[in-house]
Amino acid sequence: STAQIGVTGLAVMGSNLARNFARNGYTVAVHNRTAAKTTALVEEFGHEGDFVATGSAKEFVDALERPRRLIIMVKAGEPTDAVIHEFAPLLEPGDVIIDGGNAHFEDTRRREKELREQGIHFVGAGISGGEEGALLGPSIMPGGSAESYESLGPMLEKIAAKAKDGTPCVSHVGPDGAGHFVKMVHNGIEYADMQLIAEAYHLLRDVAGYSPARIAETFREWNRGRLDSYLIEITAEVLAHTDAETGLPFVDVVADAAEQKGTGRWTVQIALDLGVPVSGIAEAVFARAVSGHADLREAARGLAGPAAAPLPAEAADAFAAQVEQALYASKIVSYTQGFHQIQAGSEEYGWGVDLGAVSSLWRGGCIIRAAFLDRIRTAYDAQPDLPSLLADPGFAQEIGEAQEDWRAVVVAAVSHGIPVPAFSASLAYYDALRAERLPAALTQGQRDFFGAHTYRRTDREGTFHTLWSGDRSEVRTA
């Protein structure tokens, strides 16, 4: 028993994570259901560090120092349960199982509870950054017991990405499913970021009349400013790419039907359960769904649209600058909504998640890494119990400065017939929150009319009902 850590599940993520540990000086026991993958990994990368190739589950477990630390990197869902059931009987109290897959946090809560009864620490850890991140440094969001993090933390800090200030992009998020919950919301925000960028592209292309190459240049420029982020950077790369076969812009030869694996959908489903408005994320998930409905799109192809021509060249650059404002303002809203969801989940499950720490661990390694996250960190440092990112004076000022351009962009999109569901939903959220009065008062009146659902008044305490089908006098019900 010489290995400090074990990895089972040696597809791309598990292999790269095992290599990351080995490259950082740890002895890593490796295991995979299909043993050939274990042998292949050690043959190809054995020179990178100390690997212990193991065949059976027992051999794997026996190779680990006690208390054992083993990471499961298999396909999320039933395979994870199968692996847990295979290993749990071979483990002892105090051992730590880490699930680094994209598990649903409810599954993680269930597994943690079951294993806790056996004295085993189960750590659901969100890992972001794709295969490159796993190898070179991912952002890691571990849940589970605080005790497990004591032994695990130093190792994870070593292999995690480092933010620009050198801080490792990992910290204990909270108990049981907190880590996977935060990873889920990370992915939801990723969907929103991508959709906002896609809408900006669409506007630059069809309203400003820019070519993909010109748009790539615009994104490169934006990447030197406050939008500096991994997603803006790769957007420029994708837009600048030319298809070798046809010589056309790559973006013009790719089928325009976006796919998804499900974490964005989970974010929205859970947000609905928690009653948290995540309209930007929801629109991003729906936008992918709309794009994939070839039948509906085909049936609607001939429908009438506005007769707006692209802007004259001399107006295009000013419009592009407005789009940058709209993108930034909408981004503030989607992070506001995502952090609200984490806060609500933390309250619902009693996790005590530190929102500033979450923004910190997304600063490197993960797909949504961005200079922007430093701003969020600063906001929570200044006011740890910030009720909403929009309540931060800095963000309030920036969004206030952007709002006129933001509106102009949504207006231009509407008049040109360009769908901007995430830009406009984000703007609607902003306007709803800042409104003095909302038409929700009317909604309450309707509910009371048809269902006697009662209402509260602005001028005194209590719950009231109007006798709509009687003499329309008001009665106090509580």
Catalytic residues: 183, 190
Show the tokens assigned to 51: 């690997």
C-alpha distances out from residue 84 to 88, 117, 179, Å: 6, 14, 18
> What amino acid occupies position 248?
L
Whether residue 288 is annotated as binding a ligand: the answer is yes
**Nearest-approach distance from CB 414 to ligand NBP, in angstroms:** 36
Q: Is 258 annotated as a binding residue?
A: no
**Of 3, 70, 101, 143, the one binding ligand NBP by CB under 6 A:** 101
Q: Among all residues, whose Cβ is closest to ligand NBP?
A: 101
> Given candidates 5, 6, 14, 205, which one binds ligand NBP under the rule CB under 6 A?
14
Stretch that binds ligand NBP, among 69-77, 90-98, 165-173, 285-293 (CB under 6 A): 69-77
Nearer to ligand NBP, 30 or 418 (CB): 30
Q: Which of 1, 2, 12, 446 binds ligand NBP (CB under 6 A)?
A: 12
Contact residue for ligand NBP among 76, 173, 271, 386 (CB under 6 A): 76
Who contacts 208 (Cβ-Cβ below 8 Å, separation ≥6)? 310, 311, 316, 317, 319, 320, 323
Options 37, 116, 214, 453; binder of ligand NBP; rule CB under 6 A: 37
In angstroms, give the least distance from the CB of 39 to ligand NBP.
Answer: 12
79 binds ligand NBP (CB under 6 A): yes
DSSP 167-196: -BSB----STTHHHHHHHHHHHHHHHHHHH
Write down the least CB distance from residue 40 to ligand NBP, Å. Answer: 10
The reply to whether 34 sits near ligand NBP by the rule CB under 6 A is: yes
Rule CB under 6 A: say whether 33 interacts with ligand NBP. yes
For residue 310, state whether it binds ligand NBP (rule: CB under 6 A): no
Closest distance to ligand NBP from the beta carbon of 102 (Å): 3
Distance CA 159, CA 26 (A): 10
| Residue 34 is labelled as binding a ligand | yes
Contact 358, 182 (CB under 8 A): yes
Q: Per-residue contact track with ligand NBP, 104 to 133, x per CB under 6 A?
A: -----------------------x--xx--
Residue-by-residue DSSP string for 391-418? GSHHHHHHHHHHHHHHHHHHHHHHHHT-
Q: Is 416 marked within a binding site?
A: no
Answer for which of 3, 5, 7, 10 binds ligand NBP (CB under 6 A) is 10
**Residue 11, marked binder:** yes
Give me the DSSP letters along 256-277. S-----SHHHHHHHHHHHHT--
Quick one: how many helices (H) and strands (E) in the chain? 20, 9
Q: Is 326 annotated as a binding residue?
A: no
Structure tokens at 83: 């692996």
Stretch that binds ligand NBP, among 67-75, 274-282, 317-325, 342-350 (CB under 6 A): 67-75
At 142 the three-state DSSP class reads strand
**Alpha-carbon distance 394 to 385, whole Å?**
16
Residues β-bridged to residue 70: 6, 97
Q: By CB under 6 A, name the one of 82, 272, 299, 435 that touches ligand NBP.
A: 82
Q: What is d(CA 461, CA 478) in angstroms, rounded to the nearest whole number? A: 9
Instruction: List residues near ligand NBP by CB under 6 A.
Output: 9-14, 32-34, 37, 73-76, 79, 82-83, 101-102, 127, 130-131
